[in-house]
Amino acid sequence: MSSLLVIIDKAPYGHENALSGIYIAIASLDRGMDSDVLLMGDGVYAAQKNQSADKTIGYPSVSELIYSIFPNGTLFVHLDSLTQRGMKYEDLVEIAELIDGKTLHELSKSKKHIIKI
Amino acid sequence: MRITDTNNRKSSHPKVMVIVLSDGPYISQYADIGYKMAQKALELGYGVKIFLYMDGVHIPQKDQNPRTLPNISQSFEELIEKGCEIKACIRCAAARGYMEESQYLEGVEITSVYDLAEWMDENSKVVMLGS
């Protein structure tokens, strides 16, 4: 079985990337790949809970869409990126899992494909 | 210096480079870099597949006329002639008004992101180019 890590490093709504990255993860999970999503840098904002983009700017809520990867895929959030932005684990959607630098290294080594979007 | 990979040429299932392009042409160098990577990989006997995602769907549009820059659509036409498979994301294409196949270079297929997922197998390696 092939494997994929989708790394998102842009905030949602300012760019299409977060939404598009999640779609790649959903499609690859549907095709039986071992796929996960990693949010780094400004990408961590995609995991902030209680987003209301659908009601305010008419854009699909990334924090709701991201639940589509669960439970076969994991949503990793880079701990340092989160801390640097003054955010806490409690601010995130329930499926988020924090990841430190060492574990991130192991995760990326374990994946056949990596897409940074 | 010429670098060759004879092992890959001899294989009945050559390894495949999957290039994902997410920027449009001219706004950045990524389309041109993708073209050069694909051109060289084909020359070395590798399979090459290009998936056009987000603004990448602008790349293989017909009738481009960049007056002062190399015409990227002609470059991609050359890749198709050499056996490169090119697909464009239907969601991205619809958002940008490119749903008619006649708008694209001959050989470009409008398809879904699920095809990209199927390209990412044990025999391929994916390279994402975009800002």
pLDDT tens-digit readout, B56-71: 999 999 989 999 999 9
Q: pLDDT for A50-96, tens place per residue?
A: 999 999 999 999 999 999 999 999 999 999 999 999 999 999 999 99
**pLDDT at residue B36 in the model:** 97
* pLDDT at residue B77 is higher than 60: yes
**pLDDT at residue B99 in the model:** 87
Among B52, B53, B57, the strongest candidate for a mutation testing the A interface, having the largest count of A CBs within 10 A, is: B53
- Per CB distance under 8 Å, which residues of B are interface residues toward A? 20, 22, 53-54, 91-92, 112-114, 116-118, 120-122, 124-126, 128, 130
CA A57 and chain centroid, separation: 21
**pLDDT at residue B110 in the model:** 95
**pLDDT at residue B9 in the model:** 53
> What domains are defined for chain B?
13-129 (3.40.1260.10)
* pLDDT at residue A37 is higher than 60: yes
**pLDDT at residue B100 in the model:** 87
Dist CA A51 CA A61 (whole Å): 6
Nearest CA in chain B to A8: B131
**pLDDT at residue A101 in the model:** 92
In this prediction, residue B4 has a pLDDT band, given cuts at 50, 70 and 90, of low
Average pLDDT over residues B9-23: 82
Q: CB–CB of A33 and B117 under 8 A? A: yes
**pLDDT at residue A27 in the model:** 97
What average pLDDT is seen over chain B? 91
Contacting residues for B107 by C-beta, under 8 A, at least 6 apart: B80, B86
* pLDDT at residue B6 is higher than 60: no
**pLDDT at residue B14 in the model:** 72
CATH of the domain at A55: 3.40.1260.10
Range of the domain at A48: 3-116
Sheet (strand A113-116) strand order: A96-99, A75-78, A34-39, A3-8, A113-116
Nearest CA in chain B to A29: B117
Compute the nearest-CA separation of B8 from chain A (Å): 19
**pLDDT at residue A1 in the model:** 83
Q: What is the dihedral of CA B100, B102, B103, B107, to 10 degrees?
A: 110
In this prediction, residue A38 has a pLDDT band, given cuts at 50, 70 and 90, of very high
* pLDDT at residue A16 is higher than 80: yes
Q: CB–CB of B128 and A117 under 8 A? A: yes
Average pLDDT over residues B111-130: 96
In total, how many domains does chain A have? 1
